[in-house]
């Protein structure tokens, strides 16, 4: 394979996305390149008075079957696949009367966009491109002799090389070929995923995620990192950064955790997150008070945290946020005053999301050595109706409301997780401990004296009565936990002895 730049004398252009195609065609024509194209692309090129030959004229066969067959013909693919360094190939092209194609410019039917628009099966199937991927793969395979371009943003790059080098260099052809194969691989993955959309865990998992950004580093400076996301998937993938430095790996992890927590509540809510755990979480009648109450949860740990709100942020709330060093603020909107206040903080990252609805369905992926773990995401409405009071003490309606709030907070806290809450405000958190009773003790310690009269949520069952005993000694008035331990009777009996309500959910919320 020669390192020399190859000249471009003949190009095949067939694009669904016609962005920049007329400028490209005109530029190629000015450089003496002969153009071949399919029906609609040819018509677009003719609009700017650039001469073009239709594929049907080359093949001697009309486009047919409503356009399903256009380029699938030896006169096209022999012209693309011929090895120009092989004299036998050159001789065979001459014998067959086939002209070589030096440049293939193709992009594909909008399959993903059609699926996202909710189209029916027949319309989606029509957007499965056949001729396009075939031409792309053929040109990419033969990049020793052919240039392939699938992205309009690369048009200028190719034209510049033609001008500066007299053709396109091997290094560029190889890079464009790699991009082409990535493009068709992603496309085929999307098609396969659509066909197996009713299989929760298919026999083979394919991922087709474009790189959204390169990151300075990962969790630590010696680790490389990047962020891959698909617009339209919701959450961070659709967030617009309005201000501040680029998001880091840790920012993204924490912001995702904060956003998931804030939108899990219906009332005006603010979550303040550090290392994916809540430093503060509260609801109120308005967002400013929700922030104030969230900050009261652990004002020391809130320093350098991530703030998420499930309502647009107003000026009053923004001024409160501005009083504390904060890494990221994410919300479904900001009024003018809020933006004026927050953008005064040079390094504060401000993210605006288009939707604050609770995530539903979907799957969660996590890497392990040599593979990926996949599970259904722990999202959606809680089955409150399945809760049952296990002991003799009945919680009041106000206590039950606090138990529900504490349970939602616990769902977003690393296991073993214990959350203390009072009047819609988290007042103490014990997260990530190896022993559940240690999580209870830590939550009590972090609460100051606010544990008295608080309720407790535990993300999994109490294996022994030591946890409830420690909570009762601290003044906790009610507890909620999944149940399911072989010692449930002892645990419930302990609650009864202390005069504490014990509610069992029947559902666990481990978060590793």
- pLDDT for 233: 76
Which of 377, 342, 337 minimizes the C-alpha distance to 359?
A: 377
Could you tell me if 419 and 456 are in contact, meaning their C-beta atoms sit under 8 angstroms apart? yes
Which of 232, 260, 250, 201 minimizes the C-alpha distance to 378?
A: 260
Three-class SS state of 68: coil
Q: Given 141, 179, 245, 345, which residue is catalytic?
A: 141
CA distance 398 to 35: 75
Give the side-chain half-sphere CA count within 13 A for 177.
18
What pairing do the DSSP bridges indicate for beta strands 426-430 and 418-421?
antiparallel
Could you tell me if 49 and 26 are in contact, meaning their C-beta atoms sit under 8 angstroms apart? no
Active-site annotation holds for 498: no
User: Model confidence over 19-62: pLDDT tens digits?
Assistant: 888 999 999 998 898 999 888 888 899 988 889 888 777 877 77
Q: What's this model's pTM, rounded to 2 decimal places?
A: 0.84
Could you tell me if 168 and 104 are in contact, meaning their C-beta atoms sit under 8 angstroms apart? no
Segment holding 160, helix H or strand E: helix 155-165
- pLDDT for 65: 76
Could you tell me if 8 and 169 are in contact, meaning their C-beta atoms sit under 8 angstroms apart? no
Peptide bond into 416 cis (omega under 30): yes
Q: Given 18, 89, 275, 345, which residue is catalytic?
A: 275
Three-class SS state of 272: strand
Could you tell me if 494 and 470 are in contact, meaning their C-beta atoms sit under 8 angstroms apart? no
pLDDT in 10s for each residue of the chain, 512 residues:
667 788 889 999 998 888 888 999 999 998 898 999 888 888 899 988 889 888 777 877 777 776 677 777 888 888 898 888 888 888 878 888 888 899 999 988 888 888 888 888 888 898 888 888 988 999 999 998 899 999 999 999 999 999 988 899 999 999 999 999 999 998 998 888 888 888 888 888 888 888 889 999 999 999 999 999 887 777 888 899 999 999 999 999 999 999 999 999 999 999 999 999 999 999 999 999 999 999 999 999 999 999 999 999 999 999 999 999 999 999 999 999 999 999 999 999 999 998 888 777 788 888 899 898 989 889 888 999 999 999 899 999 999 999 999 999 999 999 999 999 999 999 999 999 999 999 999 999 999 989 999 999 999 999 999 999 999 999 999 999 999 999 999 999 999 999 999 999 999 999 99
- pLDDT for 1: 61
CA distance 405 to 333: 24
- pLDDT for 465: 94
- pLDDT for 4: 78
Q: Is the dihedral of CA 44, 45, 49, 53 positive or negative?
A: negative
What is the CATH architecture of 10-195?
3-Layer(aba) Sandwich (3.40)
Domain 388-504 has CATH 3.40.140.20: yes
Which of 396, 4, 393, 276 minimizes the C-alpha distance to 167?
A: 4
Evaluate whether 238-352 and 388-504 have a shared fold: yes
User: Other C-beta atoms within 10 Å of 112: how many?
Assistant: 20
Output the six-digit token pair for 210.
Answer: 């474009």
What pairing do the DSSP bridges indicate for beta strands 269-274 and 277-283?
antiparallel
Annotated domain spans of the chain? 10-195, 238-352, 388-504
User: Model confidence over 331-366: pLDDT tens digits?
Assistant: 999 999 999 999 999 999 999 998 888 777 788 888
> How many helices (H) and strands (E) are present in the chain, helices listed first?
18, 21
Could you tell me if 466 and 437 are in contact, meaning their C-beta atoms sit under 8 angstroms apart? yes
What is the CATH architecture of 238-352?
3-Layer(aba) Sandwich (3.40)
User: Other C-beta atoms within 10 Å of 503: how many?
Assistant: 25
Active-site annotation holds for 141: yes
């Amino acid at each position: 394979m020669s390192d020399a730049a190859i000249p471009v004398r003949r190009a095949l252009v067939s694009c669904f996305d016609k962005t920049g195609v007329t400028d490209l065609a005109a530029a190629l024509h000015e450089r003496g390149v002969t153009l071949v194209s399919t029906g609609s692309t040819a018509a677009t090129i003719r609009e700017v008075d650039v001469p073009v030959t239709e594929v049907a004229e080359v093949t001697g066969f009309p486009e047919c079957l409503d356009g399903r067959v256009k380029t699938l013909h030896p006169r096209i693919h022999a012209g693309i696949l011929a090895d120009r360094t092989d004299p036998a190939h050159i001789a065979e092209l001459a014998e067959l009367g086939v002209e070589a194609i030096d440049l293939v410019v193709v992009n594909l039917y909008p399959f993903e966009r059609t699926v996202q628009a909710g189209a029916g099966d027949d319309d989606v199937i029509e957007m499965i491109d056949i001729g396009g991927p075939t031409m792309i793969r053929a040109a990419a395979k033969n990049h020793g002799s052919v240039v392939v371009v699938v992205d309009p943003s690369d048009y200028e790059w190719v034209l510049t090389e033609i001008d500066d080098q007299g053709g396109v260099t091997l290094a560029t052809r190889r890079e464009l070929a790699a991009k082409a194969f990535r493009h068709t691989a992603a496309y085929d993955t999307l098609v396969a995923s659509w066909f197996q959309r009713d299989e929760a865990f298919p026999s083979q998992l394919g991922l087709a995620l474009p790189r959204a950004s390169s990151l300075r580093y990962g969790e630590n400076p010696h680790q490389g990192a990047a962020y891959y996301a698909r617009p339209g998937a919701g959450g961070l993938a659709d967030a617009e950064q309005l201000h501040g430095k680029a998001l880091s790996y840790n920012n993204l992890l924490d912001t995702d955790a904060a956003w998931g927590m804030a939108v899990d509540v219906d009332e005006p809510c603010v979550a303040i997150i550090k290392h994916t755990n809540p430093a503060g979480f509260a609801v109120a009648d308005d967002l400013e008070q929700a922030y104030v109450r969230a900050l009261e949860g652990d004002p020391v740990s809130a320093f350098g945290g991530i703030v998420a709100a499930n309502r647009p942020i107003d000026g009053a709330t923004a001024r409160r946020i501005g009083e504390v060093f904060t890494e990221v603020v994410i919300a479904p909107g900001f009024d003018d005053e809020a933006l004026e206040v927050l953008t005064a903080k040079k390094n504060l990252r401000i993210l605006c999301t288009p939707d604050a609805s609770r995530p539903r369905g979907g799957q969660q992926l996590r890497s392990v050595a040599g593979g990926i773990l996949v599970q259904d995401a722990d999202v959606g409405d809680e089955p409150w109706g399945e809760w049952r009071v296990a002991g003799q003490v009945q919680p009041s309606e106000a206590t039950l409301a606090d138990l529900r709030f504490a349970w939602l907070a616990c769902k977003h806290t690393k296991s073993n997780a214990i959350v203390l809450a009072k009047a819609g405000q988290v007042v103490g958190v014990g997260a990530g401990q190896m022993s559940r009773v240690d999580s209870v003790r830590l939550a009590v310690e972090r609460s100051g004296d606010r544990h008295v009269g608080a309720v407790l949520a535990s993300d999994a069952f109490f294996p022994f009565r030591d946890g409830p005993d420690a909570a009762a000694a601290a003044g906790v008035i009610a507890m909620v936990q999944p149940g399911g331990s072989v010692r449930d009777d002892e645990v419930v009996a302990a609650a009864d002895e202390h005069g504490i309500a014990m509610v069992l959910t029947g559902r666990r919320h481990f978060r590793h």
